[in-house]
Structure formats: structure tokens, C-alpha cells
Amino acid sequence: MGILEVFKRNLTRIEDQPPPLADPTLAEFFDNRYIGYANITKRRPELDRLVFNKHIRASLGHFKINQLTTQILDDWVSIHIGKNYKPGTINKHINYLKRVLNVARTWGVLRKSKEELRISIRIPMGDPKQRFLSSEEVMRLIRSCETENHPYLGLFVNLLILTGARSSEARLAKWGEFDLVRRVWTVPISKNGRARRIILNDAAVRLLDDIRLRTATLGFGIAADDYLFMNPHLKKPYQSFHLAWDRVRTRLNMREVRIHDLRHTYASFLINHGATIYEVQKLLGHHHISMTERYAHLYPDTLQQRVELISHALAGQ
């Protein structure tokens, strides 16, 4: 199903919803208005529904949206802290709530400004955890994934390291997204809500042939609307590769390595082989350069080589 068809289907859902309430509760706004908006604008709206139902609805859902106060929101954050959630998890839930409130504010449902209704508690994150793998570690991981009792794990991990794709982008990829003539993988809706293009290298193109062969062997289709990675037991695309991945990293004594670190490693390989930070930004699909600047610390050796250009330029003077 193409992007336009998905848009029309979800627009119909919005049009079929009851007229908006004049002063809804947060839960009413989420159920009757926001989730329809998320279905159109987000690649994985089910995450919004999951976070709201599990972490927001019980504590805040019954409040009229214009009766929410900073103290009420701070109390909600304090509950999260009391449950010993990790700072990253708490901030993720805060961002989900802010997104709902911002949409309500944009539509005129929430009449309080960001200054009038805000979360005053700051959750320190510290330095973000990033693990950059060496070439030798990557090869060990790939070989171990290929020996794991899983039909796709080795192919999936290989695709991530060769393209820098996000796990969800690869997990939900369909064959119709790949143009092997132009060597481009077009992700219809990326993390930032926009389509993005992933450039395919020679190894990635060859890997797609291997995935196609494995898929055909398992009896699944390879038409434009078929998924690359289908669970043979559930006959659906995989929800996660975490269990198989966890077995591999445990076996290799690399428990700290996350699947997302393959994306960080892709960026580090690019930088260490001469790519500029602007090229890395485009290849990773970052909308803002600030997201890519987290890799700036990988540049010292490259920068040393660049400043030597001055020495060489003046050597003949």
C-alpha cells in the first residue's frame, strides 16, 4: 500500500470520528483526535498508543486538558522517578506527552502557552551511551549472527551495518522501497516523519539478493508490498530481533552492544574513511546537523591530517 493510500485511509478514520469536545479530558483528546493525526504523520503510531495507555492515561487522562498545571505534570514525572525508570525512559515519556500537548495547543484545544504549562523537573541524561565497534568486532558479530538459530538475524544485522538504517526501518522494509537500478532505498516515513533515501553500496545490493533467496526459500513473496523480514511462525513482519540478538552478544561477551550501535558504527566507519559530517548527516537521514554532531569527537585524526594541508601549502614558499 502506497503513502497516498495510507493517507486516504487514515484521513477517512479522522472524518469518521465524532465531533471534538469543547473542553475534553486529555484521554478524550488523545482517543478522539490525536491518534488519528498520529496515524497519518508517524511511521509507528502504535508506540504513541502504547506509551499513552501504559504511562500517561491512568495518571493524567482524567484531567480536563485546560485544567492541567505544571504541578500536576511534575507530580507525574515524580511518579516515574519513584518507579526507578531510567532517565532516558522518563525523558522519552515526557516527549510523548509534550507532543500530544503541542498538537492540542496548535489546534486551539489547549489554551495555555508552553510557559504556562510546562514540566519544571529536569532529568539529567549524562553523556549518551554510544558503542563504536571495530571492523574485527563487526565481523565477529556477523559470523555469530549467521550461526544463530534464526532465519534472518545475520542478514538483518548485515543490512544495518551496510546501510546505517534504523532497526525499525529495516524491520518494516518492503521490497517496493528498493530501486536497484538507482541503488536507492526509499523509507516512506522515517523517525522524523519524512521520507528519506538510503544509498545502497555494492555489498548491500548483493545482500538484498541473499535476503530475496532466503525469503523465497521460506515460502514468502517478494512483490513490492511484501516485507523483507517475515516471521515464519506468525506469518507477519518481525516485531523485534532482540531475543536472538541478546543470545549472540551474550555469547560474545559483548552485552553492552545494542542493535542501534550498528548505526553509530556505520557513522564512525564513514568518518574514519574521510566522509564529512555533512555527508554523514545526509547518509543517516538526520534532519538537523546537531544530531550528527554527536560524532564530531571521531574527527581528531582526520582534522590533524587536514591542518597539515597548511604545512604542505607553505612548504614551497
The pLDDT, as a whole number, for residue 165 is 95
Please state, rounded to an integer, the average pLDDT across all residues of the chain: 87
- Count CB neighbours of 55 within 10 A: 22
pLDDT at 71 exceeding the cut of 80: yes
Q: Global pTM? A: 0.66
- Does 135-302 match 3-106 at the fold level? no
| DSSP bridge partners of 82 | none
| pLDDT tens sequence across 242-252 | 999 999 999 99
Average pLDDT on 303-311 reads 70
135-302, CATH topology level: hpI Integrase; Chain A (1.10.443)
* Percentage with pLDDT > 70 across the chain: 87
Query: Average pLDDT for residues 31-45, to the nearest whole number?
Result: 87
pLDDT greater at residue 291 or residue 145:
145
C-alpha cell at 156: 538483518
Other C-beta atoms within 10 Å of 249: how many? 18
- The DSSP call for residue 237 is E
Model pLDDT, residue 46: 87
Q: Where are the domains of the chain?
A: 3-106, 135-302
Question: Looking at residue 18, what is its pLDDT?
Answer: 56
Cα–Cα distance list, 275 to 131, 268, 304 (Å): 19, 9, 15
Query: Do 146 and 245 touch, CB atoms closer than 8 A?
Result: no
Q: How confident is the model at residue 303 (pLDDT cuts 50, 70, 90)?
A: low
CATH 2.60.40, applies to 3-106: no
Compute the C-alpha angle 250/255/259, nearest 5°: 100
Please report the pLDDT score of residue 171 as a whole number: 95
Q: Which H/E stretch holds residue 292?
A: helix 289-292
137 vs 316, residue with greater confidence: 137
pLDDT digits (tens, 9 = 90+) for 199-235: 999 999 999 999 999 999 999 999 999 999 999 999 9
Q: What is the pLDDT of residues 19-31, one digit of tens each?
A: 566 789 999 999 9
Banded model confidence at residue 299, pLDDT cuts 50, 70, 90: low
Of 75-89, 125-139, 158-172, 268-282, minimum mean pLDDT range? 125-139
Mean pLDDT of 131-148: 94
